[in-house]
A and B are shown apart, each in its own frame.
Chain A
Amino acid sequence: MSLRIFVSRDAGAVAVGADEVAVALAQAATKRGCAVEIIRTGSRGLYWLEPMVEVATPKGRVAFGPVTASDAASVLEAMLADGPHPLRLGITEEIPWLRRQTRLTFARCGVIDPRSLEDYGAHGGYKGLERALTLTQDSILADVTTSGLRGRGGAGFPTGIKWKTVAQTSADRKYIVCNADEGDSGTFADRMIMEGDPFVVIEGMAIAGIAVGATKGYIYIRSEYPHAVEAMNAAITAARRGGYLGPRIGSTSHSFDLEVRVGAGAYVCGEETSLLESLEGRRGIVRAKPPLPAHKGLFGKPTVINNVLSFAAIPFILAGGAKAYADFGLGRSRGTMPIQLAGNVKHGGLFEVAFGITLGELVDDIGGGTFTGRPVRAVQVGGPLGAYFPRALFDTPFDYEAFAARDGLIGHGGIVVFDDTVDMSKQARFAMEFCGIESCGKCTPCRIGSTRGAETIDKIRAGERVAENIDVIEDLCNTMKFGSLCALGGFTPYPVMSALKHFREDFGPAPTRLQAAE
Chain B
Amino acid sequence: MTDYEPWNATRGAEIIAEHTHLEGATLVILHAFQETFGYVPEPALPMIASALNVSRAEVHGVFTFYHDFRHKPAGRHVLKLCRAEACQAAGGDALAARAETRLGIALGSTTPDERVTLEPIYCLGLCATAPSAMLDGRVIGRLDEARLDALVAEAQR
Contact of A264 among B23, B68, B121, B127 (CB under 8 A): B68
B85 & A283 in contact (Cβ 8 Å cutoff):
no
A281 & B62 in contact (Cβ 8 Å cutoff):
yes
The chain A residue with its CB closest to the CB of B66 is A264
Name the segment of B1-9, B10-18, B24-32, B97-105 touching the other chain.
B24-32
Is B139's CB within 8 Å of the partner chain A? yes
B129 & A418 in contact (Cβ 8 Å cutoff):
no
A264 & B69 in contact (Cβ 8 Å cutoff):
yes
Complex Cα distance A288/B86, Å?
31
A348 & B127 in contact (Cβ 8 Å cutoff):
yes
Shortest CB-to-CB span from B36 to chain A, Å, is: 15
B126 & A283 in contact (Cβ 8 Å cutoff):
no
B139 & A14 in contact (Cβ 8 Å cutoff):
yes
B128 & A48 in contact (Cβ 8 Å cutoff):
yes
Complex Cα distance A281/B87, Å?
31
Contact of B127 among A267, A414, A430, A440 (CB under 8 A): A414
A281 & B121 in contact (Cβ 8 Å cutoff):
no
Q: Which of B23, B31, B91, B121 is the most central at the interface, judged by chain A CB atoms within 10 Å of its CB?
A: B23
Name the segment of A73-81, A177-185, A356-364, A461-469 touching the other chain.
A177-185
Chain B, interface size category, equals 35 or more
Is B67's CB within 8 Å of the partner chain A? yes
A265-B66 in contact given A12-B141, A416-B89, A430-B85 (Cβ < 8 Å)? yes
CB 8 Å contact bits of A189-228 with B (1 = contact, 0 = none): 0110000000000000000000000000000000111110
Contacts of B118 on A, CB cut-off 8 Å? none
Complex Cα distance A344/B121, Å?
19
Shortest CB-to-CB span from A344 to chain B, Å, is: 4
Q: Which of B52, B122, B127 is the most central at the interface, judged by chain A CB atoms within 10 Å of its CB?
A: B127
A280 & B31 in contact (Cβ 8 Å cutoff):
no
Q: Which of B26, B58, B128 is the most central at the interface, judged by chain A CB atoms within 10 Å of its CB?
A: B128
B125 & A224 in contact (Cβ 8 Å cutoff):
yes
CB 8 Å contact bits of A13-51 with B (1 = contact, 0 = none): 011100000000000000000000000000000011010
Contact of A225 among B86, B89, B125 (CB under 8 A): B125
Is A343's CB within 8 Å of the partner chain B? yes
Contacts of A430 on B, CB cut-off 8 Å? 85, 88
A380-B85 in contact given A264-B68, A281-B62, A283-B62 (Cβ < 8 Å)? yes
A422-B89 in contact given A262-B31, A283-B61, A283-B65 (Cβ < 8 Å)? yes
Contact of B86 among A50, A299, A416 (CB under 8 A): A416
Contacts of B124 on A, CB cut-off 8 Å? 11, 15, 224-225
The 8 lowest CB-CB distance pairs between A and B, nearest first, are A348-B128, A281-B26, A185-B84, A343-B89, A342-B127, A15-B141, A264-B66, A265-B67
Chosen A-B contacts, 11 in total, with CB atoms closer than 8 Å, are A11-B124, A15-B126, A185-B82, A186-B85, A188-B128, A224-B123, A280-B24, A284-B65, A343-B87, A414-B86, A430-B88
